[in-house]
Chains A and B, each alone.
Chain A
């Protein structure tokens, strides 16, 4: 019997033909891997990988007071973000806990695209509607109509330009102009344009720690875009990449995952995202009092842990200082790039300097606290 609530990507049949193994993720049936998840991981680090992110939520906030509404709704100060730029921020509850992490793209003076995790789409849309109610703007959940593909890895730009068919909005809608603009596109910036006549947003964002792009387009265009990029890249080692490799890539890059590192009971400071709390922000926002209180930085904090050997600590495993339990692993794996086990864990602040170990099914694995990220691409 199939899960009645499980949703499918517009690329589902394409993935089936590619031989993908599927998994449930946030209520979606998405590719876990296409072949070898280690090969997919390595492809992103050394060539490029193509990700189907159809499960992500896309919520549009538009209207004369859209910026003010988002300032009141989110941790970040979106009114300061210029058109054509994106910002990573958080949706908080009154207690300063994280309801979701978001990338918000300012697509116009009075228009923003909010990208939410699949499992939180409804929570984010409902919170934005409620928090924006007093402002002159509308909140529209366009997740079903908007498709998203990520192209990540050192060859991403080459693949994008070689695929062709892209043009940028504005003066001279030519492929040459697109190439010039996309080459100069900085991190967390994007440009609007067309792919074979269909509107697209090409953004320098991602969740892998590599140079790369995320490309938004209408759901109906996704299959054509996916096939074009993949057939261009295949000869250069570009692979379609499933959620298994996506998880090890983001873990190496030290990027938190909602449900693992980010929870409604963790504050930004605990999650290592204290830099997102800016006391100079003008507007009041939900959670402000809580995250600006000194207690927001108390309790357990997120740390990076590294070990020797090949046996990994995994989500839920206890972290110990001697016999004392001082923390818990939130994500862990044998790092495919580094070749040793890595983990993120919430650990008591006063235990960070102690000799720590992860309880791997009854056996202590000695670990060292290391700075995040574990992996940083060469500039």
Chain B
């Protein structure tokens, strides 16, 4: 597992741990997104085998107050979903960059993503 500094990010507040095309990318939401959403009580993730396209909505995270959409940060096929967060959604709030990961995707196309500094600037400017 990489540190937050080494991860890549999207403007929709997903983080991506990927080495390049044709590899496996691990996807989650950032602590900023988890905190903004509030205590997460329901997570809806795509089934293993689903083809996902970068920039499209593939799931939802709900708190008591609001609904957050999960966008696929990469294009590829869902290889694994985190069953622990489906059973215990609060894990996403407790450890968003670790145990609270959401998907592993076999990447067919890795778009240009934000680096840590770019993402930090974006959230601090918000």
Residues of chain A at the chain B interface (Cβ within 8 Å): 21, 33, 36-39, 41, 244, 247-248, 310-312, 314, 333-334, 336, 361
Contact = CB atoms under 8 A, between A and B. Distances in A.
A39 B64 CA distance: 12
A310 B65 contact: no
Contact of B64 (A21, A244, A311, A361): A244
B59 to A, nearest CB: 12
Nearest to B90: A38
A298 to B, nearest CB: 33
A79 to B, nearest CB: 41
B65 A334 contact: no
A334 B38 contact: no
A310 B39 CA distance: 13
Contact of B42 (A37, A38, A310): A310
A311 B39 contact: no
A208 to B, nearest CB: 15
A248 B64 contact: yes
A37 B39 contact: yes
Contacts of B90: 38
B12 interface: no
Contacts, number: 40
Contact of B65 (A36, A39, A247): A247
Nearest to B64: A333
13 contacts: A36-B93, A37-B38, A37-B64, A37-B65, A244-B38, A244-B65, A311-B42, A311-B62, A314-B67, A334-B42, A334-B64, A336-B41, A361-B60
A45 to B, nearest CB: 14
B44 interface: yes
Nearest to B42: A310
A138 B60 CA distance: 53
Nearest first, the 8 A-B pairs at minimum CB distance are: A310-B42, A38-B39, A333-B64, A334-B41, A244-B65, A248-B64, A36-B39, A37-B38
A331 B90 CA distance: 23
Nearest to A336: B64
Contacts of B67: 314, 361
Nearest to B43: A310
Interface in B58-102: 60, 62-65, 67, 90, 93
A311 B42 CA distance: 7
A218 B25 CA distance: 57
Contact of A333 (B35, B60, B65): B65
A311 B44 contact: yes
Given A247-B65, A334-B64, 20 more contacts: A21-B35, A36-B39, A37-B38, A37-B39, A37-B63, A38-B41, A38-B64, A39-B39, A41-B64, A244-B65, A248-B64, A310-B62, A311-B42, A311-B44, A312-B62, A312-B64, A314-B67, A336-B41, A361-B60, A361-B67
A248 B39 CA distance: 13
Nearest to A251: B64
Nearest to A334: B41
B39, B42, B60, B90 pick with most chain A CB within 10 angstroms = B39
A36 B42 CA distance: 15
